[in-house]
Amino acid sequence: MKSVTISATTKAFSLECSDIAPDKSISHRCAMFSLLSDKPSKIKNFLLGEDTLASLSIAEQLGASIKRNGGDVEITPPTKLSEPSNILDCGNAGTGMRLYAGLLSGIEGSFILTGDKYLRSRPMNRVTIPLRNIGAKIDGRENGNLAPLAIRGGDLKSFKYASPIDSAQIKSALILAALQADDSSLYKEELLSRDHTERMLSGMGAKITLQSDGWIKIDPLTQPLNPLNITVPADPSSGFFFAVAAAIIPNASTVIKNVTLNPTRIEAYKILEKMGANISYLEKENIYEPIGDIKISYNGKLSSVTVENNIAWLIDELPALSIAMSVAKGTSLVKNAKELRVKESDRINTVLTGLNACGVTTIEHEDGYEIMGGTLNSATINSYGDHRIAMSFAIAGLLAEMQIEDTQCIDTSFPNFFDILSQITQIKD
User: Residues within the annotated binding site for 3-phosphoshikimate?
Assistant: 24-25, 29, 167, 169, 316, 343
User: Binders of ligand S3P: how many residues, by CB under 6 A?
Assistant: 13
Task: Name the 3-class secondary structure at 370.
Answer: strand
Q: Taking CB under 6 A as the rule, does residue 55 contact ligand S3P?
A: no
Q: What is the DSSP string of 90-134?
A: -TT-HHHHHHHHHHHTTSSEEEEEE--TTGGGS--HHHHHHHHHT
Residue 103 sits at φ, ψ, to 5 deg, of -65, -45
CB of 167 to ligand S3P, least distance (A): 4
Q: In whole angstroms, give the CA distance from residue 279 to residue 272.
A: 8
Residues in the chain: 429
> How many distinct helices (H) and strands (E) make up the chain?
13, 24
Q: In whole angstroms, give the CA distance from residue 43 to residue 232.
A: 7
Q: Taking CB under 6 A as the rule, does residue 346 contact ligand S3P?
A: no
Nearest to 246 by CA among 222, 267, 275, 223: 275
Q: Taking CB under 6 A as the rule, does residue 362 contact ligand S3P?
A: no
Question: Between 306 and 325, how does the x/- string for binding to ligand S3P read (CB under 6 A)?
Answer: ------x--xx---------
Candidates 316, 386, 406, 411; catalytic one: 316
Task: Name the 3-class secondary structure at 39.
Answer: coil
Torsion (CA) 355, 361, 364, 367 in degrees, nearest 10: -70
CB of 23 to ligand S3P, least distance (A): 9
Q: Which is nearer to ligand S3P, 149 or 379 (CB)?
A: 149
Q: Which region, judged by CB under 6 A, interacts with ligand S3P, from 43-51, 68-76, 165-173, 300-308?
A: 165-173
For ligand S3P, the binding residues in 167-196 under the rule CB under 6 A are 167-169, 172, 193-194
Q: In whole angstroms, give the CA distance from residue 234 to residue 180.
A: 31
Q: How far apart are the first and last CA of the chain?
A: 11
Which of 27, 41, 92, 95 touches ligand S3P (CB under 6 A)?
A: 95
Nearest to 219 by CA among 173, 189, 187, 171: 187
Q: Which is nearer to ligand S3P, 95 or 425 (CB)?
A: 95
Q: Which is nearer to ligand S3P, 95 or 258 (CB)?
A: 95
Q: What is the DSSP string of 177-206?
A: HHTTBSS-EEEE-SS----HHHHHHHHTT-
Q: Which is nearer to ligand S3P, 194 or 298 (CB)?
A: 194
Q: Which residues are annotated as a binding site?
A: 24-25, 29, 94, 122, 167, 169, 316, 343, 347, 388
HSE, CB side, 13 Å, CA atoms: give it for residue 138: 33
Q: Which region, judged by CB under 6 A, interacts with ligand S3P, from 49-57, 102-110, 162-170, 247-255?
A: 162-170
Q: Which region, judged by CB under 6 A, interacts with ligand S3P, from 105-113, 166-174, 264-272, 346-354?
A: 166-174
Fill in the amino acid letter for 296.
I
Assess whether 346 carries a catalytic annotation.
Answer: no
Which of 83, 273, 339, 367 touches ligand S3P (CB under 6 A)?
A: 339
What are the Cα distances from residue 131, in Å, to 151, 247, 380? 11, 43, 42
For ligand S3P, the binding residues in 119-148 under the rule CB under 6 A are none
CB of 327 to ligand S3P, least distance (A): 25
Q: Is 211 exposed, middle or buried (0-12, 13-18, 19+ CB in 10 A)?
A: exposed
Q: Which is nearer to ligand S3P, 28 or 257 (CB)?
A: 28
CB of 182 to ligand S3P, least distance (A): 26
| Footprint on this chain of ligand S3P (rule: CB under 6 A) | 25, 28, 95, 167-169, 172, 193-194, 312, 315-316, 339
- Residues labelled catalytic: 316
